[in-house]
Structure 1
Amino acid sequence: MLDRWFYISTSRLDETDAERHVGDIVAISVQRNRSLEVTGALLFTGRHFAQYIEGPPAAIAALQESILQDPRHQDIGTIACGSYPTRHFLTWSLGYAGPSRFVASKVEGALTDALKNRQGGAQALLHMLEQFAFPGSS
């Protein structure tokens, strides 16, 4: 059985350096997630992060604790967590599509929806993350 954690947070990154910092996060996370057998995806709108991670329960707990302590995040809200039977991101140690104003405008609406309507909104946001996934990519 796998665990998952799906959260949304408000970014504390300075907008002038945000893209560079997110690139650093992704580079470090890809390597760390591979070693922990964790897969998932990350969205960054410039204002918010949304991340879905899945893997062994101990690895997810460790990553969750790390993210909760990370000063680049504030107002972290869990929208889904716990045991889950299958992976959504089988081949992605951390999928990240990069910055995009168009994507950011669409994602902001989905993030708001997910926070208001946790179950239905979380499913819609997860579906959006899955649409970014390319089989075999990481």
Structure 2
Amino acid sequence: MFERWLYISTSQLIDADAPDHVREIVDISIPRNASLSVTGALLFTGRRFAQYLEGPAEGIAELKRSILQDPRHRDVHTIAEGPYDHRRFLTWSLDYAGPSQFVASKVEDALTAALNGSEEGIEALAEMLAGFAIEGHS
């Protein structure tokens, strides 16, 4: 059994510098997540982040503490968390998708639905993140 944490947050990144900061987040997160046996995906629309993390409870807890203290995020909303019976991202310590205007418009709709709390919206967002990870979808 694994734990999962799916959250949405508002970016505090300055638009012009955002791509460089997000690339830095990804570059640091890939080996860190791998060392914690955590897999998942990060999505950035230019305005909001969505991230799905899965793995051992202690690894998820460590990353959650770090993210909640990270000044690049505000208004972190947990959309789903807790025990989960399988991984969606088998081979990705961190898959990253974004930003693009087309993707951002579609993703914003999914983020809004998930923030409204519907189980269908939560699963649709998780599946969207899994769809971005070409491999690893179970």
- When normalised by structure 2's length, the TM-score is 0.95
Unpaired runs of 5+ residues, structure 1, are none
Q: Does the aligned pair in 2 maintain the 1:79–1:119 contact within 8 Å?
A: no
Give the Cα–Cα distance (whole angstroms) in 1 for the partners of residues 67 and 45 of structure 2: 17
Q: What fraction of aligned residue pairs are identical, expressed as a percent?
A: 64
Give the letter aligned to residue 90 of structure 1: L
Equivalence for 2:20: 20
1-structure distance, mates of 2:63, 2:128: 22
Alignment partner, residue 115 of structure 2: 115
Map 1:6-45 to 2 at 5 A: 6-45=6-45
Deviations 1:64-90 (A, max 9, x none): 000000000000000000011110001
Query: Counterpart of 1:80?
Result: 80
Residues 7, 50 of structure 2: 8 Å contact kept? yes
Q: Which secondary structure does the structure 2 equivalent of 1:103 belong to?
A: helix
C-alpha distance in 1, partners of 2:20/2:101?
16
User: Bigger CA drift: 92-101 or 34-43?
Assistant: 92-101
| RMSD over aligned Cα atoms | 1.0
Does residue 52 of structure 1 match 2:52? yes
- Alignment deviations for residues 94-115 of structure 1 (CA, whole Å, 9 cap, x no partner): 0012421110111011101100
1:133 is the counterpart of 2:112 = no
2:8 touches 2:50 (CA, 8 Å); kept in 1? yes
What 5-or-longer segments of structure 2 have no aligned partner? none
Measured in 2, the distance between the counterparts of 1:43 and 1:22 equals: 10
2:3 and 2:56 in contact (8 A); partners too: yes
Q: What SS does the aligned partner of 1:16 have?
A: helix
Structure 1 runs (4+) deviating above 4 angstroms are none
Tell me how far apart the structure 2 counterparts of residues 20 and 50 of structure 1 sit (CA, whole Å).
18
- Count of equivalent residues: 136
Taking the aligned partners of 1:71 and 1:118, their CA distance within structure 2 comes to: 28
